[in-house]
């Protein structure tokens, strides 16, 4: 198998893995749904109202997400101008749709086995395991400016950023988490440690590709510095020239439960209830990395930062019958291949997880009804991609709980979320989405997501009931003292 074909196969892994996804993950609405045990994934300090839970293997949680930072179908259609009997695509408007840096993201997580249970009164312990896939494709807005506006006129002497990037991470994890309450149940602190086993990765470490036109000579100058890291615990290969499914001794030396291609991650969370009406919380998740040290390669520029200036084709090569125009172009092609040559290297490298943060507050109208505010941040390529959610959350009966939310994120403002939890004794079904509005306005959608599953949720009781009862007792006691004091006066 050729090296180019091998690299194509590895880069196709994320597209194959996500080929059947339609919807995506819903963590923002889930954050304030206290009836669903999986909300502990958003903040290790946030318990559900179930004293114990057992997540049904595989079907307990399917977590899917699609996000697009740049365009919706309506934004593309807005660039189409209707004329008498015809439609024309305004290429200048197409360029205006895209930002300087754009990305498309796909995420999928499936619980393999999870459970949680109370230890005495103040401590909650839980175990988790899951299969996770995360994909990001970044593309520059300059690319569309170049193809729609050209490199002349006002674009002379402009350096176009033509750096595309692909990041795909597939891994299994197994974790243990714990949280504990303090200060009379007003403060809860939680953390989760996860062991990670990397399965497949395609990581764009560097992709600095630029293009510039000189305003005086009109010479075209291109620069390139590319480094793509590839590794696998599923495919076995001595080099990128070949990929074979693992078997025999190679499978045992690079299996799922062996040391190579492993890492770890930490999640931290806190929840504080200064009064029975107010709750504040915060969490930072996915602080971790995977070390890829077996079946790992780098594919990059042989001469990083190399440049090439194209001064055009001599007129004689075009109009002189004795000259060969095709040979002139072939010389340019050979020079480009030599100058921007890529080479394969066996290498070890490290990839970070896509870290995220939550900062929230909620007003508790009663123990079963609250309004929530939530700020969310997703870190990728050293940049923060924020989202803001407002929600209403109600536990209507022991049978039914619902949540409704609105989210603004990624230049998308049509995100109406809905959460539903149905409990038939210990059997719980739930479905949560941050954008069911996409069903009603599909042309404006930039984000689609869904989390759904089945649990055994046992001994369901409001974890804050004791604190509420104590607060009412103190309030009643204070009221009696005030009445007694007023009577004595």
All structural domains of the chain, each given as residue ranges with its CATH number in brackets, are 3-302+341-488 (2.40.160.40)
pLDDT of residue 85: 64
pLDDT of residue 116: 92
Residue with more model confidence, 122 or 18: 122
Calpha distance 129→114 (Å, rounded): 6
- Could you tell me whether strands 416-424 and 427-433 are parallel, antiparallel, or unpaired per DSSP bridges? antiparallel
Where does the pLDDT of residue 1 fall: very low under 50, low under 70, confident under 90, or very high at 90 and above?
very low
Per-residue pLDDT, averaged over 301-319, amounts to 65
Per-residue pLDDT, averaged over 148-170, amounts to 83
Calpha distance 78→335 (Å, rounded): 42
| Distance from chain centroid for Cα 434 | 14
> Residue 358 is encoded by which pair of tokens?
């939550």
Length of the chain: 489
Among residues 367, 386, 368, 389, which one has the least CA distance to residue 377?
386
Place of tokens 């891994």: 171
Find the range with the poorest average confidence among 157-166, 180-189, 285-294: 157-166
pLDDT of residue 468: 59
Residue with more model confidence, 461 or 96: 96
Calpha distance 426→460 (Å, rounded): 8
Query: Exposed, middle or buried: residue 457 (CB in 10 Å: 0-12, 13-18, 19+)?
Result: buried
Q: Kindly report the number of other CB atoms within 10 A of residue 285's CB atom.
A: 23
Calpha distance 234→254 (Å, rounded): 8
Residue 475 pLDDT more than 60? yes
pLDDT of residue 13: 41
Q: How far apart are the first and last CA of the chain?
A: 96
Residue with more model confidence, 300 or 460: 300
Where does the pLDDT of residue 36 fall: very low under 50, low under 70, confident under 90, or very high at 90 and above?
very high
pLDDT of residue 66: 83
In the 8-state DSSP scheme, what is residue 439?
G
Residues 6+ apart with CB under 8 A from 61: 38, 55, 109, 110, 111, 114, 130, 451, 452, 453
Calpha distance 97→72 (Å, rounded): 9
Find the range with the poorest average confidence among 161-175, 199-213, 430-444: 430-444
pLDDT of residue 148: 74
pTM of this prediction?
Answer: 0.77
Residue 315 pLDDT more than 60? no
pLDDT digits (tens, 9 = 90+) for 237-281: 655 555 544 444 443 444 555 678 999 999 999 999 999 899 999
pLDDT digits (tens, 9 = 90+) for 358-393: 999 999 998 899 999 999 998 877 778 889 999 999
> Residue 422 is encoded by which pair of tokens?
């149905």
13 three-class SS = helix
Calpha distance 207→225 (Å, rounded): 6
Where does the pLDDT of residue 15 fall: very low under 50, low under 70, confident under 90, or very high at 90 and above?
very low
What is the four-CA torsion angle of 253, 256, 259, 261, rounded to 10 degrees? 100
- Could you tell me whether strands 342-346 and 101-111 are parallel, antiparallel, or unpaired per DSSP bridges? unpaired
Residue 209 pLDDT more than 60? yes
Calpha distance 234→249 (Å, rounded): 13
Calpha distance 297→252 (Å, rounded): 20
Where does the pLDDT of residue 8 fall: very low under 50, low under 70, confident under 90, or very high at 90 and above?
very low
Per-residue pLDDT, averaged over 314-342, amounts to 58
Calpha distance 485→95 (Å, rounded): 74
pLDDT of residue 154: 77
Residue with more model confidence, 215 or 352: 352
């Amino acid at each position: 198998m050729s090296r180019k074909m091998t690299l194509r196969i590895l880069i196709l892994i994320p597209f194959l893995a996500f080929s059947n996804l339609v919807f995506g993950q819903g963590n923002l609405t889930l954050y304030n749904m206290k009836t669903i045990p999986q909300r502990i994934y958003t903040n290790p300090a946030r318990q559900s109202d179930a004293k114990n839970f057992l997540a049904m293997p595989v079907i307990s949680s399917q977590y899917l997400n699609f996000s697009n930072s740049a365009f919706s179908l309506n934004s593309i259609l807005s660039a189409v101008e209707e004329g008498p009997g015809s439609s024309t695509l305004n290429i200048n408007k197409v360029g205006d749709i895209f930002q300087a840096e754009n990305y498309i993201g796909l995420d999928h997580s499936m619980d393999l086995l999870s459970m949680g249970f109370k230890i005495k009164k103040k401590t909650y312990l839980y175990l988790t395991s899951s299969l996770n896939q995360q994909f990001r494709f970044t593309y520059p807005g300059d690319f569309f400016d170049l193809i729609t506006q050209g490199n002349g006129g006002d674009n002379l002497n402009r350096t176009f950023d033509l750096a595309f990037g692909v990041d795909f991470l597939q891994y299994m994890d197994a974790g243990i988490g714990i949280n504990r309450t303090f200060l009379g149940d007003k403060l809860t602190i939680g953390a989760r440690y996860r062991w990670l086993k990397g399965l497949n990765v395609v990581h764009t470490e560097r992709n600095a590709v630029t293009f510039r036109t000189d305003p005086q000579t009109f010479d075209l100058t291109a620069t390139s510095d590319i480094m793509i890291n590839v590794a696998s615990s599923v495919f076995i290969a001595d080099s990128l020239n070949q990929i074979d499914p693992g078997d025999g001794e190679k499978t045992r030396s690079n299996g799922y439960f062996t040391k190579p291609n492993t890492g770890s991650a930490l999640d931290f969370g806190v929840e504080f209830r200064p009064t029975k009406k107010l709750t504040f919380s915060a969490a930072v998740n996915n602080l971790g990395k995977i070390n890829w040290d077996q079946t790992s390669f780098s594919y990059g520029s042989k001469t990083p930062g190399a440049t090439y200036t194209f001064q055009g084709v001599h007129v004689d090569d075009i109009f002189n019958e004795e000259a060969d125009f095709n040979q002139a172009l072939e010389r340019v092609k050979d020079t480009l291949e030599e100058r921007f040559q890529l080479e394969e290297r066996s290498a070890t490298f490290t990839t970070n997880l896509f870290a995220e943060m939550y900062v929230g507050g909620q007003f508790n109208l009663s123990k079963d009804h609250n309004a929530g505010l939530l700020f969310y941040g997703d870190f990728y390529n050293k940049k923060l991609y924020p989202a803001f959610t407002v929600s209403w959350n109600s536990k209507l009966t022991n049978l039914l709980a619902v949540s409704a939310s609105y989210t603004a994120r990624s230049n998308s403002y049509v995100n109406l979320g809905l959460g539903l939890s149905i409990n038939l004794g210990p059997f719980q079904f739930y479905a949560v989405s941050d954008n069911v509005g996409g069903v009603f306005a599909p042309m404006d959608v930039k984000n689609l997501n869904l989390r759904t599953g089945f649990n055994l949720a046992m001994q369901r009781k409001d974890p804050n009931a004791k604190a509420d009862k104590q607060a009412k007792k103190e309030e009643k006691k204070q009221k009696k003292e005030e009445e007694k004091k007023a009577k004595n006066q």
